[in-house]
Every structure is written in C-alpha cells, then in structure tokens.
Amino acid sequence: MPLVVGRGRSIKAVEQSQNADNLLVVVTQRVLTTGDPQIEDLHKVGTLCKVEGSTPTEQGSRQIIVTGIGRYRVMEYNLSPGGYLEARGEIVSDVYSTYEVRNQALFYNLKELAREVIELLPGATEPLIKLIDRVEDPGYLCNVCAAYLSLSLSEKQELLEMVQINERIEKLLNAMRKERETLQMQREIRDKMSERLNKAQREALLREQLRTIRSELGEEPGEGIADELELKLQEAGLPEEALKHSGEELRRLRALPPISAEYHVLRTYLEWLAALPWNKKTESPIDLQRARRILDEDHYGLEEVKKRILQFLAVAKLKNDIRGPILCLLGPPGVGKTSLGQSIARAMGRKFIRTSLGGVRDEAEIRGHRRTYVGSMPGRIIQSIKRAGTRNPLMLLDEIDKLRADFHGDPSSAMLEVLDPEQNRNFTDHYIDLAFDLSDVFFITTANVVDTIPPPLRDRMEIIEVSSYTSYEKLQIAKKYLIPKQLSEHGLRNNQVILPDETLCKVISHYTREAGVRDLQRKIAALFRATAEKVVEWQDKSGSTLTDGRAIDLGPGQLQEFLGPEKYFPEKAERIMKPGIAPGVAWTPQGGDILYIEATVMPSGKGNLILTGQLGEVMKESAQIALSVTRAMMSRSMMAMVLRKSYDLSQYDIHIHVPAGAIPKDGPSAGITILCAIVSLFLTKSIFSNLAMTGELTLRGAVLPVGGIKEKVLAAHRAGLNHIILPKRNESDLIYIPKEVRDQIHFTLVDNVEEVLTYVFGTDAFSAQAAA
Ligand SMILES: Nc1ncnc2c1ncn2[C@@H]1O[C@H](COP(=O)(O)OP(=O)(O)O)[C@@H](O)[C@H]1O
Ligand SMILES: [Mg+2]
C-alpha cells in the first residue's frame, strides 16, 4: 500500500523505523480535519506495517510503500525525545467461534461474494480471483476484501477493531452486497450506453450518461419507464375505451416527477392495466369422453356428481355457451370440492384459479378500493384474473357460504354482479375503473352449508351435493389415489412399502374422524415420512441404494409407533345408556355426528323447561313441542298406566341439555330424540345403545322428514350404531346411502310419535289404538 507522509513528526517516525526492523504502526485520527492531532485524537487500533521503501517527493514529503503485518492495539503512546510518537501494544488476533459449521459457511459466503464483486469490476480481474481462491485464512480474506471496498473511514475503522471474526465477516458481507449493487448498476449504465453508441454519437454520449444517472436517481421523469409501459399497454390488447383512457393517464405520467407519490400510484395503476389479460384465452373444445376420463383419473366414485358435471358440459357444448346457472359444489370439508374444480378446468382446457371468499366481509375485497386510497388495490376478482393470465379461466369461488355482510357494505351484491351474465360483461372494479369483460369466465362455487349462502346468490346456483365418504369409500380413495400420490411425493417406490388394508382401515377408524379424506391423507403422509426415514437408514447401513427384496412392512401393530396412540374410539363404547338419555344424529358442516340428548327432572319446581347447550331458536321450540306432546300423552289414561303413576308436570322443572355445550346447534331434526329423552326419564327406562334417531316432531305428534339423511346415517354407522329410526317420508333418501352401509343397518321408518315410542320402549301401550 503506498502512503504519503507529510507531517514532520511522521517523517521522523518513518526514519526512526529503520532502527526497529522497519516496523511502523499506522493509525488514523478520529477527526480527519484536525490539523495537529494530539495523542487523544488518535485511534487506539491500527495496523502494524513494514516499510518496504521510501522516496522523498518534491514537496518535501515522502512517499512510502508499506506491507501490513497485522492489526495492532496500542496500549500506550509516548512522545519520544526525537519528536515522534512511540507506541507500545500488541498484535490483535481474530477470535473464532467454536461453531465450526457456521464459521465455514460464513467464510464460504464471503469468498463467493468476493468473487462476484470482483467479476463486476472493469478490467482484468483474473489474478485477483486467483488470489481470493487461494486464501485459506478467513482473517486474511477479510483484510483483503476490506482494503478493496469503498467504505467510509469510520466503517473501516470499525472493521479493524472487531475481534470476533464472524462479526467481521457479517459486516463485510453487508458492505459487499451494497458494493455489488452499485457495481451492477454502473455496469448497466455502461451497457445501456454502449448499446446506443456509434461513431456519430460522441456528443450524445455524455447527455445519455447524465440522463441514465438522473433517472436511476429518480430525479427526472422516467422516460424509459413510460416508454416501456406504453409498449406493454399496446401489447395488452385493451378495448377501445380503455386504450383511450390509458393513453391519457400515460401522458399524465410523463409529466409527473418520479419522486412524487402520485407518479408511483399512477405507474402502479398503468402496470395493472398492462398486466390484465384483456384478450388472452385458452380453451379446448368440450369433449365429453375426454372430460369423463379426466374426472375419473382424478377422483374415485362421486358418480352422481360426475354425471351432473358432464350433463352441464354437454349443455354448454350444445348451446355453445357456458352461461347459465352457476355450479355450486356443496359438501363437508375434504370431500374433493376444490380438486373437482381443478379437474373440470383440466377437462375444459382452461386455466384454474381459486379465489377464497371465506371471511370476506367488505365489498371492497371483491370490487377493489378506489385509486385515491393509499395502497389501494383491485379486488379479489381482478387479482385472480391477473394471476390466471387469461380472460376465460375457470374461477373457483371457494367457500361462498362464508361471505358476510356488515357495515362495510354487502359483498354479496358485488358477487351477484360478478356472477350475473347480464352484468358481468361490464364488470367494473373500483381500482381499475374500467369495464372488464368477465362473461367468458367459468365460475364454480363451493360451500359447506347451503343455509348461509346469501339467498340472491343461491338463486343463481345449481347445487351439486358432494357428500361424506363411507369407510369403504375412504379405503378405495386411499388405495387408488392418495397412496400413489403420497408415494411419489415422498420419493418412495411401490415395492419399498407394504401397507395392508387392515392398517388403512385402522387409520380410518381410529386415527381420523372426518367426512372427507384430508386428515387421512395427512396420516398417510406421516406414515410415509417414517418409512422414508427407515429406508434411508437401511440404505446408509448397507451402503446400497437398492432395497429390492426389502420393504418396510406397515402392519396395524406399527401404527402406535408411527402415529402415536389411537385418537378415536367408536362413540358407542364410551356411553353407558341411562334413563333420560337419547341418541340423536345431527348434521354438521363437517359431516354427520352422534348427539346424545340428556334430560333430567327436578321435583318441587314450577313446570319450567330449562334448556342448555347453546340451542338455536328452532331447537328450543322443538324442545317445547316435545314437552307439550309428552304432557298431552300423559293425560291420556293408557300412558299413565304405562308410567304406573301419574305425574303432575306443573310440579316439576325439566332440564334438557345437549352436549357438547360449546358448539351452537340448531334445527328441528332432534324433535323425536328430545321426546324420547323425556319419556325415557319418566319411564326410568334406558334406550338401547345400538339405536339412533332423527325426525322433526309436530305438536300433533306427527313425524316430519329432515335433511342430511346420508350424512347422519354414515355418522351413526361410523359410531357403530346399527338401528336407526327415520321419518317415513325420508325413505327415498336411502338410495343415496352406499349399499355396504345400508346392508349393515336396520332402518325403522316412522310416521308418528306413537310408532317412535313403541319401537324405542318396546311396548305397544303407546300405539294409537291403545291410546284411543
Ligand atoms: N373421491 C376422491 N378421489 C380422490 N381423491 C379425493 C377424492 N375426494 C377428495 N380427494 C382428495 O382429498 C384432498 C382434499 O380435497 P379438497 O378438494 O381440498 O376438498 P374440499 O375442497 O372439498 O375441502 C385432495 O387432495 C383430493 O384430491
Ligand atoms: Mg376446498
């Protein structure tokens, strides 16, 4: 390193160094402008150097060449009688952390980055790179890098004083990343210029350079940016009105200073316009055979659903128009609604794009914020269209039943506009503020429950129910779809795992409780992760990647080890039936569930009915009805005979509770269950533990049909109950229940409460004739 030494004191020190092995301590002063620095003005850490050569200059100063030997910490400065400063101190060594891996990683990163930076430098860089490659000592590499970087003096001093090598490297890495950016930018400027340069443009050269620099600094209207935008807008194929509008906005952009907020807002807006697929389409003509094949390829069973989808496609093909009712796939989570949407898109040769509507409560989320808003953006529809990159994707509006209206406005009215074929040709997002044609988008919606879909939207929809799977169906889905998919996702081959049906059945019944197959898929993935670990362990041990002839056998006994203890047990086993408890089946958005209703009676009451368990209005009313029906029957003589004593119900309080208490429940379908709980209490007779029931009760004692029969029956079946009481008018729903389940369950169809009580309590004293 060449240095110029000017001050008399310093020249004396250089001369003196000849008597001390040519060693010299070089330090910087704290403030550069101090003319005559005193001891306290000097830094305490500097560099110990060897003077290699010294030549006087004409101005009376000296030019010297020094080699750095090491960093040096001064303990004490002394003014020597010779008039120069003497220093006493010690070499500073680097301190290494004991975390070897991290040390290595940092060192390697530094080398890598150094190479990158050097490559960006103009001129021949080959020797420097070779030098870097040879360096083995991290401290030395730091010194070399620091010397070449354009850092401020104080930053360099800081680096010099750092003792922890890793700290030093980290600081250097930061500085070098900045350096790399600067160099890259310089190179870009150079490149941009050389592109446009020719002999006649010597004069233009300087102007161009100036301009590039200023636009990089953001000081001049970014001509380049506006030109680029203009080109993109021309290519985007905007419709006439939009084109005119964008032209005006572009002119406005050119006039704005790029540092202004408005410039930024406008530029973002124009970029949105340019990025929308105004005229891009993908499509293949509808081919029913191919569609059928694709649907089967991706999904097991679902015959009814597939048939409806194909019919829908057939109509679209005949009409040559996809407009019409919007398909709504309705069903519990994990039954394949979203993935069906994906298959349909594949079958139609369209891009698939999923837009989640769950929890959307603000109209602006659908239709965007006006541009005046800081950070405003288009709504979800336009964002999805941009992501799709075509103007005719299949857009899956997921969870439309979770749209909520509140004081921010009603998102469902915006949705209505999106879905209405009359209006969506000119869909106007608040942000985009121009009509975008959505009429070629193929919309499909999904929902868990039908009741909470806003009614005007529901009207537009053709609902296709995708219902829960039986254990048998789950087994088939696992074998034919989930397992092959998970095998390949875990890098496993068929012959490396043995997964017997017995194991799968146990996973389905004891490790999952769900309507769909999502949890099952997760459990299979967990099994395969464990398998992968074993396979690799074995390979490492044997030193071979061939495992042929050796497979991991996942017998049912192994589940405990891989998945932990069993999580679910058939519900029935947990319950000891007592008088006052009646088993119902309920429909929930997650599929069906077993519901035990409890009743108890308290003497010296006032005829009150106490209801707990977060019951909705309708359910409260069914409890009232059940009680009234019971009282009416009790007043009849035969009932009193069955009871053997007559209660004066106005002297008792009755309490009905529906666990689980924290979950809100509603609906009329527990009517006959509540009735049975009350009657069982008065009869002091338990209900058989293999029985379940559902049905709405009227005040006159009739039993009316209820919804969700398939889900409810499957839930009872899962819980191991094999006798179900259903309203007679639900008989037609039984055909939707898979045969393998139907065969195992005994159905009793009832019309009125006398029949219910006769079946449940096993006496014909309740029969209509007896009562009469
Ligand atoms: N009948 C089926 N055949 C094959 N795979 C299925 C079937 N039903 C669901 N799946 C798989 O289960 C997973 C969850 O499905 P998903 O579409 O997310 O359910 P949903 O949208 O109804 O909640 C997906 O990986 C899907 O492929
Ligand atoms: Mg879904």
Given the CA of residue 480, which atom of ligand 1 is nearest to it? 4
Question: According to the 3-state scheme, what is the secondary structure of 484-503?
Answer: HHHHHHCCCCHHHEECCHHH
Mean pLDDT of 540-545: 72
Mean local confidence (pLDDT), 677-696:
88
Ligand 1 touching residue 589 (CB < 6 A): no
What number of other Cβ atoms are within 10 A of residue 663's Cβ?
Answer: 13
Q: Is the pLDDT of residue 57 over 90?
A: no
CB crowding 451-490: b at 16 or more within 10 Å, else e? eebbeebbebbebbbbbbbbbebbbebbeebbbeebbeeb
Residue 301 CA, closest ligand 1 atom number? 1
Contact at 8 Å (CB) between 765 and 642? yes
* pLDDT tens-digit readout, 524-539: 999 999 888 888 888 8
Predicted pLDDT at 663 = 67
Ligand 2 centre to CA of 587 (Å) is 19
Average pLDDT, stretch 53-74?
A: 87
Q: How far apart are CA 253 and CA 545, in angstroms?
A: 62
Residues 76-92, mean pLDDT to the nearest whole number = 89
Rounded mean pLDDT of 121-129? 77
Which ligand 1 atom sits nearest the alpha carbon of residue 398? 21
- Give tens-digit pLDDT for 576-589: 778 888 988 888 76
Lowest-pLDDT range of 4-8, 213-217, 320-324, 662-666:
213-217
**Who's near 670: CB < 8 A, 6+ residues apart?**
584, 586, 595, 597, 619, 622, 658, 694
**pLDDT of res. 686:** 85
| Residue 455 scores a pLDDT above 80 | yes
pLDDT at 570 over 60: no
Partners of 654 in the β-ladder: 601, 609
Judge if the beta carbon of residue 591 lies within 6 A of ligand 1: no
Residues 161 and 719: their CA atoms lie apart, in Å, by 72
- Give me 389's structure tokens: 């990159």
Asked if the model's pLDDT at residue 207 lies above 70, the reply is: no
| Any atom of ligand 1 within 6 Å of the Cβ of 524 | no
Q: How far is the CA of 339 from the centre of ligand 1 (A)?
A: 6
**What is d(CA 358, CA 761) in angstroms, rounded to the nearest whole number?**
46
pLDDT (average), residues 136-142: 89
Task: Give the residue whose CA is nearest to atom 11 of ligand 1.
Answer: 336
pLDDT over 90 at 127, yes or no: no
Ligand 1 atom closest to Cα of 331?
22
**333 CA to middle of ligand 2, Å?**
6
- Statement: residue 151 has pLDDT above 90: no
Q: What residues have their beta carbon closer than 5 A to ion ligand 2? A: 338
* Residue 583 bridge partners (DSSP): 596
CA of 337 to the centre of ligand 2 (A): 6
Query: What pLDDT does residue 377 have?
Result: 87
What's the chain's average pLDDT? 85
Under 8 Å between Cβ of 23 and 139 = no
Q: Which residues contact 87 (CB under 8 A, 6 or more apart)?
A: 25, 72, 74, 76, 77, 78
Query: In the prediction, which pLDDT does 617 show?
Result: 86
Q: Is 712 in the pocket of ligand 1 (CB under 6 A)?
A: no
Cβ–Cβ under 8 Å, residues 68 and 46: no
Whole-number pLDDT of residue 183: 86
For a substitution probing ligand 1, which of 329, 339, 342, 481 has the most ligand atoms within 8 Å of its CB?
339
Residue 445 has a pLDDT of 94
CA of 399 to the centre of ligand 2 (A): 7
Ligand nearest the Cα of residue 516 is: 1
C-beta pairs of 256-260 under 8 Å, 24+ apart in sequence = 256/221, 257/219, 257/220, 257/221, 258/215, 258/218, 258/219, 258/220, 258/221, 258/222, 258/225, 259/218, 259/219
pLDDT reported for residue 221: 54
Rounded mean pLDDT, 423-435? 91
Rounded to the nearest whole angstrom, what is the distance from the C-alpha of residue 542 to the centroid of ligand 1?
39
Q: Return the ligand 1 atom nearest residue 482 CA.
A: 5
From 328, 330, 400, 517, give the residue whose CB has the most ligand 1 atoms within 8 Å, as the site to mutate.
Answer: 517
For every residue of 232-268, DSSP letters joined together read HHHHTT--HHHHHHHHHHHHHHHHS-TTSHHHHHHHH
User: Tokens standing for 334?
Assistant: 């994990």
**Relative to the alpha carbon of 517, which ligand is closest?**
1
Mutate which of 481, 521, 590 for ligand 1? The one with the most ligand atoms within 8 Å of its CB, which is 481
Predicted pLDDT at 434:
92
Average pLDDT over residues 283-307: 89
Of all protein residues, the one whose alpha carbon is nearest to atom 3 of ligand 1 is 299
337 CB within 6 A, ligand 1: yes
* Residue 554: predicted pLDDT: 86
**pLDDT value at 666 more than 80:** no
Which of 303, 309, 335 for mutating ligand 1's site (highest number of atoms within 8 Å of CB)? 335
Report whether residue 325 contacts ligand 1, using a CB cutoff of 6 Å. Answer: no
Please give the backbone phi and psi of residue 186, each rounded to the nearest 5 degrees, phi first. Answer: -60, -40
Task: Report the percentage of the chain scoring pLDDT > 70.
Answer: 89
- Among 669, 710, 739, 767, which one carries the catalytic annotation? 669
Q: Which ligand is nearest to the CA of 401?
A: 2
Structure tokens of 639?
């009932």
The label of the residue with tokens 């065969």 reads 743
Q: How confident is the model at residue 768 (pLDDT cuts 50, 70, 90)?
A: very low
Nearest atom of ligand 1 to the alpha carbon of 466? 22
Q: Is the pLDDT at 345 greater than 70, yes or no?
A: yes
Separation of CA 343 and ligand 2 centre (Å)? 13
As a three-state string, the secondary structure of 617-658 is HHHHHHHHHHHHHHHHHHCCHHHHHHHCCCCCHHHCEEEEEC
Which residues does 243 contact at the CB level (< 8 Å), separation at least 6?
233
Q: Does the CB atom of residue 687 touch ligand 1 within 6 A?
A: no
712 is catalytic: yes
**Could you count the other beta carbons within 10 Å of the beta carbon of residue 173?**
16
Contacts for 169 with CB less than 8 Å, ≥ 6 apart: 106, 107, 109, 110, 138, 142
CA 89 to ligand 1 centroid distance, Å: 73
Residue with the larger pLDDT of the pair 141 and 203: 141
List the end-to-end C-alpha distance of the chain, in Å, as a whole number.
Answer: 118
Task: Give the number of the ligand closest to the Cα of residue 518.
Answer: 1
Alpha carbon separation from 412 to 347, 362, 384, 398, 404 (Å, rounded): 29, 9, 18, 14, 8
pLDDT of residue 173: 92
Q: Is the CB of 336 under 6 A from ligand 1?
A: yes
pLDDT at 770: 46
Lowest mean pLDDT of 230-234, 304-308, 550-554, 726-730, name the range: 550-554
Q: What percent of the chain has pLDDT over 90?
A: 29
Establish whether residue 332 lines the binding site of ligand 1, counting it when its CB lies within 6 angstroms of any ligand atom. Answer: no
Max Cα–Cα distance, the chain, nearest Å = 135
- Assess whether 728 carries a catalytic annotation: no
334 Cα to the center of ligand 2, angstroms: 7
749 close to 731: Cβ distance less than 8 angstroms: yes
| Active-site residue identified among 306, 351, 474, 712 | 712
Categorize the per-residue pLDDT at 374 as very low, low, confident or very high, splitting at 50, 70 and 90: low
* Residue 517 Cα to ligand 1 middle (Å): 7
